[in-house]
Amino acid sequence: MQTASFTGFIKALFYMIAFYYIFRFLAKLFLPLIVKKVVEKAGQKMQQQQQNTWNNSQSKDEIIYNSENVKKPRETKKVGDYVDYEEID
């Protein structure tokens, strides 16, 4: 069985701290670039979807509105009956 030594603990602690600072430094360098790319790609995709929707709506000649739902008011849900009761002493 191996026992832990103080120098091994210090070495492991040093590696963890070094990894943390290196990771933080690299994140500061590359994370803004990655986020910028993702935002640009999402913007392009949204613009393309909007353009497709615009083209599809321009190609249709007639517009059909469903007026069945407009005439009927929204019915409220009734959960149960109201029961009036009196206390008995």
The Cα–Cα gap between 40 and 33 comes to 11
Cα 25 from Cα 18, distance rounded (Å): 11
Full DSSP string of 21-69: HHHHHHHHHHHHHHHHHHHHHHHHHHHHHHHHHHHHHHH--------HH
Structure tokens at 46: 């949204």
Domain residue spans of the chain: 21-51
Q: Quick: pLDDT tens for 35-87.
A: 999 999 999 999 999 988 887 776 655 666 666 655 555 666 777 777 778 88
pTM of model > 0.75: no
